[in-house]
Amino acid sequence: MEKQKKFEKVMEIIERNGANAARLIPILQEIQDEYRYLPEEIMDFTATCLKIPPARVYGVATFYSHFALAPKGKYIIKVCDGTACHVKRSETLIDAIQKKLKLSDGKNTTDDMLFTMETVSCLGACGLAPVVVINEDIYGQMTADKVTAVLEGIIKKEAANNANN
């Protein structure tokens, strides 16, 4: 039943885009917004609905770094490691986040799927270095203590939300 619901949502997205293969990128963006990544079975289903080879869908999904083929957490933490941020010790932020969330270089998503940490080359906010972006919120001039406090706030907020549900 849940699987059928999953495909119904994809059908809505495809129909909203006129089932037009030329709109593959916007369709994949909407699917990713829905699932936070592009599940393999959904990409195959999308190819079938758009009457295009699955390789074309996979080609687009793997070409653009915006698309994710693995599940991501509810909160995406992007740590800038561009020149300005690196000089201002962005690696201490990465270490603090990994320590707080029990992540490692090979594991960037928490087991509870609450957080995913990514290191990015530049966020274009060099004046605020070092910078961390969590979903749509920008945190400038961060320190290890500040980023840990932000994460603790999110964890407390999520625990309160779960307690109320």
Look up residue 17 and give its two tokens.
């885009």
pLDDT reported for residue 64? 92
Phi, psi of 76 (to 5 degrees): -100, 120
Q: Which amino acid is at 38?
A: L
pTM score, whole prediction: 0.77
Closest CA to 85 of 145, 139, 154: 139
Residues 6 or more apart in contact with residue 153 via CB below 8 angstroms: none
Burial class (CB in 10 A: 0-12, 13-18, 19+), 65: exposed
Q: Which pLDDT tens digits describe the chain residue by residue (165 residues)?
A: 566 777 899 999 999 999 999 999 999 999 999 988 999 999 999 999 999 999 999 999 999 988 999 999 999 999 999 999 999 999 999 999 999 999 998 899 999 999 999 999 999 999 999 999 999 999 999 999 999 999 999 999 999 998 887
Does residue 150 contact residue 105 with C-beta atoms inside 8 Å? no
Look up residue 159 and give its two tokens.
């625990």
Does residue 139 contact residue 132 with C-beta atoms inside 8 Å? yes
Does residue 121 contact residue 81 with C-beta atoms inside 8 Å? yes
Does residue 21 contact residue 51 with C-beta atoms inside 8 Å? yes
Q: Is 118 helix (H, G, I), strand (E, B) or coil?
A: strand
Give the whole-angstrom CA distance, residue 10 versus residue 49.
Answer: 10
Q: What share of the chain is helix, strand, coil (3-state, %, to 5)?
A: 55, 15, 30
